[in-house]
């Protein structure tokens, strides 16, 4: 199900138990934050034994943090959480209220592919407004 702009309306799972690992970070809206987010996500997934999804998770986090940098002026939040035994939930938040939308891009366009990549690579994804801005989230299936 999507809204009129084609953005999926699905909500991320809310069930969470104390045994499911979770961590989050806040980054300033500056260029070095993309590199820092990638490094922390990769390191955390390595610690959790989730190397099988590390590359794709880092790629998608990089895309979403970069999008937030282009459009936001405040802090960017990244949260990763293992949900159930078969999924990883990743959320990227920023203080801007406008929800992003997937765009149709031409082969010579220099941008606009980030949400397409998230849409085509993740199990599911979506956006939600928060009292302090918005969150873009995606869920990846875990092997095993």
Q: Angle, nearest 10°, between helix axes 54-71 and 114-121? A: 150
Residue 34 has pLDDT above 50, yes or no: yes
Mean pLDDT, rounded, for 1-16: 44
* 35 token code pair: 């590199």
Mean pLDDT, rounded, for 84-100: 92
Whether the Cβ atoms of residue 19 and residue 103 lie closer than 8 Å to each other: no
CA 2 to chain centre: 18
Q: What is the pLDDT of residue 114?
A: 79
pLDDT: is 128 or 12 the higher one? 128
Separation between Cα atoms, residue 82 and residue 43, nearest integer Å: 15
Q: How confident is the model at residue 71 (pLDDT cuts 50, 70, 90)?
A: confident
Q: How confident is the model at residue 81 (pLDDT cuts 50, 70, 90)?
A: very high
What is the DSSP secondary structure assignment for residue 54, as one 8-state letter? H
pTM tops 0.85: no
């Amino acid at each position: 199900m999507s809204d009129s702009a084609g953005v999926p309306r699905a909500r991320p799972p809310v069930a969470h138990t104390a045994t499911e690992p979770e961590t989050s970070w806040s980054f300033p809206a500056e260029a070095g934050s993309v590199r820092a987010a990638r490094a922390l996500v990769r390191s955390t997934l390595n610690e959790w034994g989730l190397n099988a999804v590390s590359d794709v998770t880092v790629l998608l986090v990089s895309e979403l943090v970069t999008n937030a940098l282009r459009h936001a002026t405040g802090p960017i939040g990244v949260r990763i959480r293992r949900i159930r035994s078969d999924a990883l939930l990743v959320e990227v938040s920023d203080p801007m209220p406008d929800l992003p939308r997937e765009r149709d891009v031409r082969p010579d366009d220099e941008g606009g592919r980030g949400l397409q990549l998230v849409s085509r690579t993740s199990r599911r994804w979506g956006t939600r407004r928060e009292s302090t801005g918005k969150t873009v989230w995606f869920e990846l299936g875990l092997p095993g």
